[in-house]
A and B are shown apart, each in its own frame.
Chain A
Amino acid sequence: MEHQEYQELLALYALDALDASEARALETHLNTCAACSAELAGLREAAALLAHASTPAEPRAEVRARILEDARHEPQGGQPVARTSAKVVPLRPGAVASRWPNVLRLAAALAFVALLTGVIVFWRRDVKSRREIAQLSRQINTEQRELARDRDVLARQREALALLNSPGMKKMDLAGTQTAKSARATFVFDRETGRSVLMTEGLPAPPADMAYEVWFIPKGHAPMPGKMFTVDAAGHAMISDHVPMEARENPVIAITLEPKRGSAVPTGAIYLSSSSS
């Protein structure tokens, strides 16, 4: 299978819905493909959010007690501790010890101490090398993430280029409003597929809890929300999005400032807007 075929299996894998043979093949590919691993991580996060589609429910209070009871009886990562105390047969005092001459007892004690020291030294070394391994693997993870991010940027730029060449391409200029006179933006979209890219410049950095939101406004209809975004220090942003079917015929495109979580209808000031044609 090629990379792209594997990539198409990722969503189904994230839902555990692949058949066993396909899942195995994909797992082999994932071992060597950082891009697919990164993509899978994102899809898993999305899949986990499906849990919210169920109605939250309250278990009986005793479940909490039972869980904590379980934890108390089981040490971390190991085998369960026996709940009844183990039967220990006590040594009769003097029964063994008295037969050992003092010198031998001292030698045995010394040997024991030496052994114990050895064990501790090895144990510490083991802990140290484990820590080093953990740190190295964290480094690799970070690098893989950075690589995935670079690829993402590249992919978006490619998408923008592809869009500019598509036959149904429409380009619109957005001008800054009174609120942001020096801002401007270009919006390009494909009337066939709805794929779009928005490039902004000169937008002020939004306050910490706010972000910009894109609106597609079909003629004579209510605005439809697009993506949320923020800008870099120069006020630049490049956002790929999807124009809903209803808004592909001469829409107005506007950008407003909204609470970070996003709004279903525009509530904040308009920063950028295309002129209606």
Chain B
Amino acid sequence: MQAEASQISDNDLLRAVSRGDETALAAIYDRYRLILFGLILRILHDRQEAEDCLQEAFLQVWRRAADFDESRGRAFTWLVTIARSRALDRLRAVGARARLADEAAKSPRDDVGDAAEDALKSEQGTIVRQALAELPDEQRRTLLLAYFEGLTQTEIAARLGDPLGTVKTRMRSGLIRLRELLGERSRGLY
């Protein structure tokens, strides 16, 4: 199975995982470890924690593969959702949010246009970053705060000192605009 793993669709791999096929789990891991680990690391800012979390996320993929329903969304979305929730749970559990908030205040992280680690960067990543760069700054900022720090609308409003209504509108317009920008273009990504 590993030999031709690159040609098997994500959906087929997850179906095999749900039947207890460990090589399929390995193939999913090989395919998505970079993006999922990058995501978790961005949320947790700690390699050790992030590796434990990645392990936890894949254990959940192994246990719950039968719950994946391809009629409701892409496998990529399912995997990313699991990794992000595990990472945010861990973030809340270690109570590191205060620490992160300090860090974020010191150096506002905004990876758009970051030139580091180009070798690992994927084409998809470039397209998403380009689309993000086209959003107005405030929209992009609220989206990234919600996505990578797991903040709610109310928490974001408090953090940025903006009215709740403004934050809601920015997040909503931001995500909808992003979907538009990515919509036609990202069709080639799937």
Contacts and interface: CB of A to CB of B under 8 A. Distances in A.
Interface in A230-277: 242, 259-262
Given A56-B125, A228-B184, A260-B188, A70 B55 contact: yes
Contacts of A41: 72-73
Contacts of A48: 74, 76-77, 80-81
B62 A53 contact: no
A51 B80 contact: yes
Contacts, number: 198
Contact of B187 (A11, A44, A49, A260): A260
Contacts of A104: none
Interface in A1-26: 8, 11-12, 14-19
B137 to A, nearest CB: 14
B146 to A, nearest CB: 4
A228 B152 contact: no
Contacts of B148: 50, 53-54
Given A17-B151, A262-B184, A55 B120 contact: yes
Interface string A52-89: 11111111100110111011101111000000000000
The size class of the interface chain A forms with chain B is 35 or more
B42 interface: yes
Nearest to B117: A55
Interface residues of B, number: 80
A211 B184 CA distance: 10
B103 interface: no
Contacts of A57: 34, 37-38, 41, 50, 117, 120
Nearest to A62: B51
Secondary structure of the B contact surface, majority rule: helix
B84 to A, nearest CB: 7
A181 interface: no
Residue of A63, A141, A211 ringed by the most chain B CB atoms within 10 A = A63
B58 A67 contact: yes
A142 B185 CA distance: 25
B39 interface: yes
A131 interface: no
A63 B122 CA distance: 22
Interface stretch (B4-12, B20-28, B94-102): B20-28
21 contacts: A17-B171, A18-B153, A43-B176, A44-B81, A45-B179, A46-B175, A46-B182, A48-B77, A50-B128, A51-B83, A52-B35, A53-B148, A55-B38, A55-B121, A57-B37, A57-B38, A58-B33, A63-B51, A67-B62, A71-B25, A76-B19
* 7 pairs of A and B residues whose beta carbons are closest in the complex: A52-B128, A54-B42, A46-B179, A56-B34, A261-B188, A228-B184, A48-B77
Interface of A: 8, 11-12, 14-19, 41-60, 63-64, 66-68, 70-72, 74-77, 138, 141-142, 145, 211, 227-229, 242, 259-262
